[in-house]
Chains A and B, each alone.
Chain A
Amino acid sequence: MRIDVMKTYKLFINGNFPRSESGRVYEITDAKGKFLANPCSGSRKDLRESVIAARAAQQGWSNATAYNRGQILYRVAEIMQGRREQFIAEIMAQEGATLAAARAQVDSAIDTWVWYAGWTDKIDSISGSTNPVSGSFYNFTIPESLGVVVIFADSKPSLLNLAAALAPVIASGNTAIVIASQKYPLTAITLAECLATSDVPAGVVNILTGKLDQFVTWVGSHMDIDGVDATGLATRDLAELKELGSENLKRIYAFNEAHSTKRITNFMEAKTVWHPIGI
């Protein structure tokens, strides 16, 4: 009788898989209460390191051509497709989903990721513009990525929520820190493994697991975070986040739809440039 090699789940920071600097973990059981894993209980310092990594990676990622970012995102989808069975197994175990439901979720997550991969080189065409101002000026508005964005991933369906939140944020050139669902964190780490093997530069995506309410406080008050996707937060946590976040005017949003260009454009800034026209 063959014994399986049991998988260990660590954090994903700056392209590496370290354990939490706090050394803490917490227990995850499957839907039936059987032990699944001891994912890391991420600390404030882990968040700090993630923000540093995300900030360092941001300029390079946003300077990459839209085509290049689109290629890399599509490659992530190729790798996700390759790991389909692993995702299905983890979703069934954590979420108690049926095989059919897990399959449908994984396929939908991959397709959602592909949908966003195809936006990198088109979003400017629909949200930028040339503006017919009065006077002999050329005036144009370009959307630009915001910077470093934290994502509070909603709980289930875990992979679909992750894909719908993360892909649009990084498509435009932002870098991200994902705070995984506290109840179903393993999906996020397996997704990290996909990111690590598909040419996504180190630091562009960082993934932390752990106790959600602690992260709300740390993220809300960190002055070097520009935006937050708070879709996964309950009302009370969202209020706390917004209150703390007002200190540096973080852009904080929650979304209802998996496929929405708002998830891209809300984390962009519009830059308008004027230049005279004349000989």
Chain B
Amino acid sequence: MSKFEYAPAPESAALVDISSEYGLFINGKFVAAKSGKTFITTNPATEEKLSKVAYAELADVNLAVTAARNAYVKTWSKMPPAERGKYLFRIARILQERTREFAVLETLDNGKPIRETRDTDIPLAAAHFFYHAGWADKLSYAGYGANPKPYGVAAQIIPWNFPMLMLAWKIAPALATGNTVVLKPAETTPLTALLFAEVCQQAGLPAGVVNIITGDGGTGSHLVNHPGVDKVAFTGSTGVGKAIAKAIAGTKKSATLELGGKGANIVFEDAAIDEAVEGIVNGIFFNQGHVCCAGSRLLVQENIQDELLEKLKSRISLIRIGNPMDKNTDLGAINSAAQLSRIREIADSGDIEGATRWSPDCTLPKSGYWYPPTIFTGVSQSHRIARDEIFGPVLSVLTFRTPQEAIEKANNTPYGLSAGIWSDKGSRILWTAKHLRAGVIWANTFNKFDPASPFGGYKESGWGREGGRHGLSGYLKGQY
């Protein structure tokens, strides 16, 4: 019996040039914040400082919105749609060219594994631009009338879990439909958005069409409330989503909201068990569980529970947690100290409320923010770990006996973003899909995304869809 150790396979941080300081990208140029205030962004895997970025306050938000308005009125709304599309094609192709650089930067700033940024995040982001580029001059075919119009200026606020991908989900459709944007990346992950500004410059995008302002919740609040904004698009927590809905009530603004979830991953007795195990692992540990559509509740049919859990635990024991820049790594760092603290608090409630915790033996790095892959069994719907979104690598396992019970438990939540179905029987899959109150349903797969596939939630998981023909309506005036 021999032991097979894998040599480290580190990606090089030297692939990206990180400036020591970044300004705000307004009207095609980088400018300092009016107040001169800045804040630091760090690498959550090492706690090392990466760069200093500008902190946008009301005056800066005002500048950005004005730039977006001017660009809309003077340039973007007058441009033939096919020409708009060509800018988006250019952006897509440049992103493809610079994929490796973006992947490294995203991993350094976010903490997620390089394999993920390289193989999923950045290629998908480029694909979103490519897909939406083609819609720019085809809107009359999209089913929204002969000549659908954009809103004008869109305020877009994105989270830290998929910084570049969320940027693409927001900017691509907005521009394709003829809007201009002011986008605020999350405060812990501003860097790929700022690098994207460079791509806009390389593509020759007219000044003011895309504006990127960095800051925190306060910045976002100014942006949402700015009278010059016609449309708000937000991805983030349900709590903030509700606050935004409240803030724009009574105004002319409309909003698209992509909020939280507590997705049920349903495994029926006739599922292909090994595949289901991979799907469960992907569903909750992909991106460290920092996924709104994570399969964070496993609903397993009781008669296969023991076999499934045994295989699941064996599989989880093989997960490699560590340096996100190492290509062997499966599970990266938690994005911030604050998030780590939230995960701990909710997970600990599982112990307190009587569920059974299990984690494999793993060595966590000394610096940085880390949480081991964790499962709780013996969970019922009233447990906090079955109700609250943990947004971390923690899986709650519940059981069911009949398909009806699976549906009832799966739907018994204010959320409604995603669900998974594992079964070899076609009719059962379709029946279950029909009865699930969730916007995205994966059958015999999980965490599949495509620019052509609409994504969004029922109930408190949000308003509207992103991607596909359906996703265009969020940026066309008068649809909602």
CB distance from B197 to the nearest CB of A (A): 24
CB within 8 Å for A125 and B133 given contacts A74-B89, A275-B427 = no
Q: Mark A266-279, 1 if CB is under 8 A from B, else 0.
A: 00000000011111
A91 at the interface (CB under 8 A from B): no
Interface residue? B4 (CB, 8 A): no
Is B52 in the interface zone, CB < 8 Å from A? no
Which residues of A lie under 8 Å from residue B130 when comparing CB positions?
67, 70-71, 74
Q: Is A201 in contact with chain B by the CB < 8 A criterion?
A: no
Which residues of B lie under 8 Å from residue A118 when comparing CB positions? 85, 133-138
B264-300 interface bits toward A, Cβ cutoff 8 Å, 1 = contact, 0 = none: 0000000000000000000000000000000000000
Decide if A93 is an interface residue (CB 8 Å cutoff): no
Q: How far is the CA of A67 from the CA of B96 in the complex (A)?
A: 13
Does residue A224 face the partner (Cβ distance < 8 Å to B)?
no
Summarize B's interface: helix, strand, loop or mixed. helix
Cα distance, A64 to B54, chains bound together (Å): 44
In the bound assembly, the distance between CA atoms of A114 and B137 in angstroms comes to 10
Q: Contacts A71-B130, A74-B89, A111-B82 hold; do A122 and B135 have CB atoms under 8 A apart?
A: yes
Beta-carbon contacts of A60-92 to B below 8 Å, as 1s and 0s? 000000110011001000000000000000000
B143 within 8 A of A: yes
Q: In the complex where A67-B131, A70-B130 touch, is A114 in contact with B427 (Cβ < 8 A)?
A: no
Q: Which residues of A contact B138 (CB under 8 A)?
A: 115, 118-119, 122
Minimum distance in angstroms from A72 CB to a CB of chain B: 12
Chain A interface: which of B238-246, B347-355, B428-436? Answer: B428-436
CB closest residue in chain A, given B176: A118
CB contacts under 8 Å to B, within A114-172, are 114-115, 117-122, 124-126, 138
Residue contact B430 to A277, C-beta cutoff 8 Å? yes
Chain B residue at smallest Cβ distance from A275: B426
1/0 contact string of B76-108 vs chain A (CB within 8 Å): 000000100110010001000000000000000
Q: Is B343 an interface residue (CB 8 A)?
A: no
Contact string against A for B residues 186-218, beta-carbon threshold 8 Å, 1 for contact and 0 otherwise:
000000000000000000000000000000000
CB of B403 within 8 A of CB of A279, answer: yes
- Tell me which of A121, A126, A275 contacts B430 (CB under 8 A): A275
Interface residues of A in 226-279 (CB under 8 A from B): 261, 275-279
| B142 engages A126 (CB within 8 Å) | yes
Option from A67, A111, A120, A125 in Cβ contact (under 8 Å) with B468: A125
Q: Hey, what's the 0/1 contact readout for B396-408 against A, CB within 8 Å counting as 1?
A: 0000000110000
Give the distance in Å from the alpha carbon of A125 to the alpha carbon of B141 in the complex.
10
Q: How far is the CB of B336 from chain A (nearest CB, A)?
A: 34
Contacts of A114 in B (CB 8 A): 82, 85-86, 89
A264 to chain B, nearest CB (A): 11
Contacts of B452 on A, CB cut-off 8 Å? 66, 121-122, 124-125
* Nearest chain A CB to B381 CB, angstrom units: 21
Task: Chain B residues near A74: list those with CB within 8 A.
Answer: 89, 93, 130
**CB proximity of B145 to chain A, nearest CB, Å:** 14
Scoring A67, A261, A275, A277 by chain B CB atoms within 10 A of each residue's CB, the highest score goes to A277
In whole angstroms, how far apart are the Cα atoms of A117 and B85 in the complex? 12
Counting CB contacts under 8 A, is B469 at the interface?
Answer: yes
- Residues of chain A lying within 8 A (CB to CB) of residue B136: 118
Whether A279 pairs with B134 at a CB distance below 8 angstroms is no
- With a cutoff of 8 Å between Cβ atoms, the chain A residues found around residue B137 in the complex are 115, 118
- Contact yes or no, B134 A122, CB < 8 A: yes
Partner of A126 from B93, B131, B143, B426 at Cβ < 8 Å: B143
CB of B427 within 8 A of CB of A278, answer: yes
For residue B300, give the distance in angstroms from its CB to the closest CB of chain A.
17
Distance to closest chain A CB from B307 (angstroms): 22
Chain B residues 104 to 149 lying within 8 A of chain A, measured CB to CB, are 127, 130-131, 133-138, 141-143
Contact A279 B427, beta carbon cutoff 8 Å: yes
Bound Cα distance A67, B86 (Å): 17
Bitwise, B137-170 to A at CB < 8 A (1) or not (0) is 1100111000000000000000000000000000
B82 proximity list for chain A (CB < 8 A): 111, 114-115
> A138–B427 Cα gap in the complex (Å)?
9
Q: Which of B131, B135, B143, B428 is the one whose CB lies under 8 Å from A278?
A: B428
From 375 to 416 in chain B, residues with beta carbon under 8 angstroms from any chain A beta carbon are 403-404
Chain B residues within 8 Å of A279, by CB: 403-404, 427-428, 431-432
Instruction: Check A138–B134 contact: CB distance below 8 A.
Output: no
**B residues less than 8 Å from A119 (CB atoms):** 134, 138
Bound Cα distance from A277 to B403, whole angstroms: 13
B427 and A277 contact, CB distance less than 8 A: yes
How far apart sit A117 and B404, CA to CA, in the bound complex (Å)?
Answer: 45
**A274: shortest Cβ distance to chain B, in Å?**
11
Contact residues, B434-480 vs A (CB, 8 A) = 434, 451-452, 468-469
Beyond known contacts A70-B134, A118-B137: 20 more, CB 8 A cutoff: A66-B452, A114-B82, A114-B85, A115-B82, A115-B137, A118-B134, A118-B138, A119-B134, A121-B131, A122-B131, A122-B452, A124-B452, A125-B452, A125-B468, A126-B141, A275-B427, A278-B427, A278-B428, A279-B403, A279-B431
A residues lining the B interface (CB < 8 Å): 66-67, 70-71, 74, 111, 114-115, 117-122, 124-126, 138, 261, 275-279
Q: Can you sample 14 A-B contacts with CB below 8 Å?
A: A66-B452, A67-B131, A115-B82, A118-B134, A122-B138, A126-B142, A275-B426, A275-B427, A275-B430, A276-B427, A277-B427, A277-B430, A277-B434, A278-B427
